[in-house]
Amino acid sequence: MKTLAFSGRLAGAIDCDVHNAVPSVKVLYPYLSEYWQDFMAEAGHPSLEPNYYPVNSAIAARPEARGAGGPPGADPDALISLVLDQTGAKRAILNCLYGVQALYNEYWAGAMATAVNDWLADQWLDRDPRLSASIIVAPQNPAAAVEEIERRAADSRFVQVLLPARTQMPLGRRYYWPIYEAAARHKLPVCIHAGGGGGGNPPTPVGWPTYYVEEYLAVAQGFQGQLVSLLAEGVFAKVPDLKVVFAESGFTWLPSLLWRLDKNWKGLRREVPWVDRLPSEIIREHLKITLQPLDEPDELRRLVETIDHIQSDQVLLFSSDYPHWQFDEEGPLPMALSPEAERNLLFANAERTYRFHA
Ligand code: ZN
**Cα separation, 328 vs 320, whole angstroms:** 9
Q: Which residues contact 43 (CB under 8 A, 6 or more apart)?
A: none
Centroid of ligand 1 to alpha carbon of 180 (angstroms)? 21
Centroid of ligand 1 to alpha carbon of 195 (angstroms)? 9
3-state secondary structure of 160: strand
Centroid of ligand 1 to alpha carbon of 325 (angstroms)? 11
**Cα separation, 201 vs 205, whole angstroms:** 9
Q: Tell me: the pLDDT tens digits for 270-298?
A: 999 999 999 999 999 999 999 988 887 76
Region 7-353: CATH code: 3.20.20.140
Centroid of ligand 1 to alpha carbon of 43 (angstroms)? 30
The phi and psi torsions of 33 (rounded to 5 degrees) equal -70, 165
Whole-model pTM: value is 0.93
Centroid of ligand 1 to alpha carbon of 326 (angstroms)? 11
Centroid of ligand 1 to alpha carbon of 106 (angstroms)? 24
Query: What was the pLDDT predicted at 94?
Result: 98
Centroid of ligand 1 to alpha carbon of 101 (angstroms)? 15
Centroid of ligand 1 to alpha carbon of 178 (angstroms)? 25
With residue 193 as reference, give the H or E element that holds it: strand 190-193
Centroid of ligand 1 to alpha carbon of 258 (angstroms)? 23
Residue 48 zone, left/alpha/beta (φ > 0; ψ -120 to 50; rest) = alpha
Centroid of ligand 1 to alpha carbon of 166 (angstroms)? 14
Centroid of ligand 1 to alpha carbon of 97 (angstroms)? 9
**H-state helical runs in the chain:** 34-43, 76-79, 106-120, 142-152, 177-185, 212-232, 235-238, 254-268, 279-286, 301-310, 339-343, 349-353
Centroid of ligand 1 to alpha carbon of 241 (angstroms)? 24
Query: What was the pLDDT predicted at 50?
Result: 75
Centroid of ligand 1 to alpha carbon of 194 (angstroms)? 7
Centroid of ligand 1 to alpha carbon of 107 (angstroms)? 26
Centroid of ligand 1 to alpha carbon of 274 (angstroms)? 32
**Cα separation, 132 vs 153, whole angstroms:** 13
**Cα separation, 224 vs 259, whole angstroms:** 13
Query: What was the pLDDT predicted at 55?
Result: 76
Centroid of ligand 1 to alpha carbon of 323 (angstroms)? 9
Count of CB atoms within 10 A of residue 155's CB?
14
Instruction: Calculate the CA dihedral of residues 199, 203, 208, 213 and round it to 10 degrees.
Output: -140
Strand-by-strand arrangement of the 158-164 sheet = 14-18, 91-94, 131-136, 158-164, 190-193, 244-247, 287-290, 316-317
DSSP state of 327: S
List the domain boundaries for the chain: 7-353
**Cα separation, 122 vs 127, whole angstroms:** 8
Query: What was the pLDDT predicted at 299?
Result: 62
**Cα separation, 351 vs 1, whole angstroms:** 31
The phi and psi torsions of 133 (rounded to 5 degrees) equal -150, 160
**Cα separation, 117 vs 148, whole angstroms:** 9
The phi and psi torsions of 170 (rounded to 5 degrees) equal -60, 140
The phi and psi torsions of 191 (rounded to 5 degrees) equal -95, 125
Count of CB atoms within 10 A of residue 226's CB?
22
Question: CB–CB of 136/113 below 8 Å?
Answer: yes
**Cα separation, 262 vs 269, whole angstroms:** 10
Query: What was the pLDDT predicted at 334?
Result: 52
Centroid of ligand 1 to alpha carbon of 248 (angstroms)? 5
3-state secondary structure of 15: strand
User: How, if at all, do strands 244-247 and 190-193 pair?
Assistant: parallel
Taking 50 as the pLDDT cut, the residues of the chain under it are: 1-7, 328-330
User: How, if at all, do strands 244-247 and 287-290 pair?
Assistant: parallel
3-state secondary structure of 284: helix
Dihedral sign, CA of 12, 283, 326, 301? Answer: negative
Query: What was the pLDDT predicted at 300?
Result: 67
Query: What was the pLDDT predicted at 8?
Result: 64
Query: What was the pLDDT predicted at 335?
Result: 57
Query: What was the pLDDT predicted at 330?
Result: 45
